[in-house]
Amino acid sequence: MTNKDLANLIFPNITKTIEDYEKEYPKRNLPEGAIVSRFAPSPTGFMHLGGLFQALIDYVIAKNSNGVFYLRNEDTDKSREVEGAVELIMHVLNHYGLTPDEYEFDSKTIGNYGPYIQSERKEIYHAFIKHLIEIGRAYPCFCDKNELDLMRDNQETMKIRTGYHGRFARCSRLTVDEAIQKIKNGEKYVIRFRSNGNFDNKFEFDDLRQGKLYLNENDIDEVIMKSENMLPTYHFAHIVDDHLMRTTHVVRGEDWLPSAPKHIQMFEAFGFEAPKYIHTPLIMKKEGESLRKISKRKDPEARMSYYEELGYPALAVIESLMTIINSNYEEWHTANPDKKFTDFTFSADKMSTSGALYDLMKLDDISKNIISKMTKDELYKESLNWSITYSESLKNIIEKDPEYYKNIINIERVQEKPRKDISKYSDIENLIWYMYDDIFYNKEKTYEWKKITDKKEISKILSTYMNKYIDLSDKEVWFNNIKLMCDELGYASNMKEYKKNPENFKGNVADVSTVLRVALTSKSMTPDLYEIMSLIGIEKIKERYNKIREEF
Ligand code: GLU
């Protein structure tokens, strides 16, 4: 019996050959230098920051080079599959504007290199495994879990590198006849790749981020097909896929780097050119003075849902990631404020060689800037959309009177240095609630009085203002009136004079304005008081001032 007989016994119905598939998925017709990248998540849970980080690099390098960015669903580990994970991945990519050029979703396939779901590619993998068996580079292994555990224990006691290699690779020495007999006897088996490496040899591996590395050759006979469902393992499936989908660049977490030697070996076994690799750094966070890896379990910001729930604009999250993807992104962005992040030329060698530090404060800053540049209509639209899913109360506020809401968020927006106090849509309600009587009167609030705290004095300021000076016809008139009131009540209307002789006055115009502001909003810090007063209107201002005076 020959290897061919063995291959036919295992895959009796596989008739297509590698050559057939090469023809079916020919080299892509793309301009010179175009990069084909892929995001290849396993649908095993929520989408996390590290995933978006990788997808963003994939997207940028493909767009930079007029290439193709595709999504592949790596679902061969059925036991770890989580329902809804694929929907979430697709949602996140779309939300962040990283929609792939090719993908399969919702029974729709876009692109000519599919299926893009690994579990639908079983026949293809089998053809490739069949070929490896025929040429003697793969074999069935009948060792069960107990035997493998025992082997590992022995290796550990003998202080030998663990794994199915060298003399431990017992089934690699079975003859074809023995293997065929065992299969015919109904023994369970997996398929292993027959490695031809020597662990003591090093070979040169060029990682686009880390440069030239010297890695040990692989000598482990890795499992490439599991016995359950005859599905391939990641190690094998992605070799076939990256080749047939004509991937030029693989961007994946650096936790895969130790497996690279076996992947390279598999590409070689088929005579395929391996893609270029960018192994990405871990995403780190600051904790006190030290840095640690962002944890999917411990850190809420590791989940992409965190950013959507809080209402960060998608672009803010993208830009915050771009700043850690390439150290020169920020400088470039400052010099080219109107360009899109896809116009930036990504360089793998400008990625951090250690971990990538993700800083939420930085995200806030970036986000504040982005929101400050939105027009009132844009911010209205974005915040309304967000509120529909995440905040019933903001939604009610907005829908009650959209024009009023737009005017509120427009305060200090159209000016050279627009306000920058909103970093996410969930900040808004807390910044504007006092503009609404129904909320204002029903809310537990503390009046943040500053210098003037005496109730009688406050009352006097408010009544004098209401009786004689309130005038919102124009900002200059409004302020002038406040100054006139200061003169009447013994406060300095002129700051210079006040600074010269503070003892001559009860306080100054800023102290008086603060009383007007706090009495109206309860807050000592608000955007422009004149605009707030104009929007609330004289009637309602008076109502609020009178109420306070009654409460005193
Ligand atoms: N499915 C693998 C993972 O989720 C993908 C690794 C790769 O991009 O090749 O880690």
Q: Which atom of ligand 1 is nearest to the CA of 51?
A: 4
Residues contacting 230, CB < 8 A, separation 6+? 122, 126
pLDDT of residue 348: 86
**Low pLDDT (below 50) residues in the chain:** none
Pairing of the two strands 108-110 and 138-141 = unpaired
**What number does the ligand 1 atom closest to the CA of 255 have?**
10
Give exposure, 218-237, as e/b (b: 16+ Cβ within 10 Å).
bbbbbbbbebeeebbbbbbb
Give me the pLDDT at residue 355, please: 79
CA dihedral over 190, 195, 201, 207, signed as positive or negative: negative
SS3 content of the chain, % helix, strand, coil (to 5): 55, 10, 35
Question: Residue 354: its pLDDT value, please?
Answer: 75
Q: Which of 316, 301, 311, 526 is nearest to 426 (CA)?
A: 311
Whether the Cβ atoms of residue 469 and residue 486 lie closer than 8 Å to each other: no
The rounded Å distance from CA 74 to ligand 1 centre is 7
Q: Is 75 in the pocket of ligand 1 (CB under 6 A)?
A: no
Q: Determine the Cα–Cα distance for residues 93 and 47; give it in Å rounded to an integer.
A: 10
Q: 371 exposed, middle or buried (CB, 10 Å; 0-12, 13-18, 19+)?
A: buried
Residue 41 CB less than 6 A away from ligand 1: yes
Handedness of CA 383, 385, 386, 391 (dihedral sign): positive
Q: Cβ contacts of residue 153 below 8 Å, gap of 6+?
A: none
CB distance 134 to 7 below 8 Å: yes
Please give the CATH number for the structural domain made up of 455-551.
Answer: 1.10.10.350
Q: Which residue has the tokens 């991937």?
A: 247
The model carries a pTM of: 0.93
Distance CA 55, CA 38 (A): 8
Q: Where are the domains of the chain?
A: 3-12+122-280, 291-372, 376-440, 455-551
Say which residues have a Cβ less than 8 Å from residue 156's Cβ, sequence separation at least 6. Answer: 162
**184 to each of 3, 145, 225, 543, how far by Cα in Å?**
15, 21, 18, 92
Distance 396 CA to ligand 1 centre (A): 43
CATH topology of domain 291-372: Glutamyl-tRNA Synthetase; domain 2 (1.10.1160)
The DSSP string of 218-245 is P-B--EEE-SGGGPBPHHHHHHHHHHHT
Looking at the CA of residue 38, tell me the nearest atom of ligand 1: 8
Is the CB–ligand 1 distance for residue 40 below 6 Å? yes
Is any atom of ligand 1 closer than 6 Å to the C-beta of 263?
Answer: no
Tell me, using a 6 A CB cutoff, whether residue 48 lines ligand 1: no
Peptide bond into 31 cis (omega under 30): no
Q: How far apart are the CA of 146 and the centre of ligand 1, in A?
A: 29
Alpha carbon distances (Å) from 268 to 126, 240, 259, 262, 271: 18, 12, 15, 10, 5
In this structure, which CATH number among 3.30.420.140, 3.40.50.300, 1.10.287.130, 3.40.50.620 belongs to the domain 3-12+122-280? Answer: 3.40.50.620
Atom of ligand 1 nearest to the CA of 242: 9
How many residues would you count in the chain? 552
Q: Is 257 in the pocket of ligand 1 (CB under 6 A)?
A: no
For residue 221 and ligand 1, the question of a CB distance below 6 A is answered with: no
Q: Identify the residue whose C-alpha is closest to ligand 1 atom 9.
A: 252
Report pLDDT for 538: 97
> Which ligand 1 atom minimizes the distance to the CA of 74?
1
Main-chain phi, psi angles of 457, to 5 degrees: -65, -45
Sheet bearing 290-293, strands edge to edge: 290-293, 283-287, 356-357
Between the CA of 49 and the centroid of ligand 1 the distance, in Å, is 14
The pLDDT value given to residue 306: 97
Query: Longest C-alpha distance within the chain, in Å?
Result: 112
Q: HSE-up of 414 (CA within 13 Å, CB side)?
A: 8
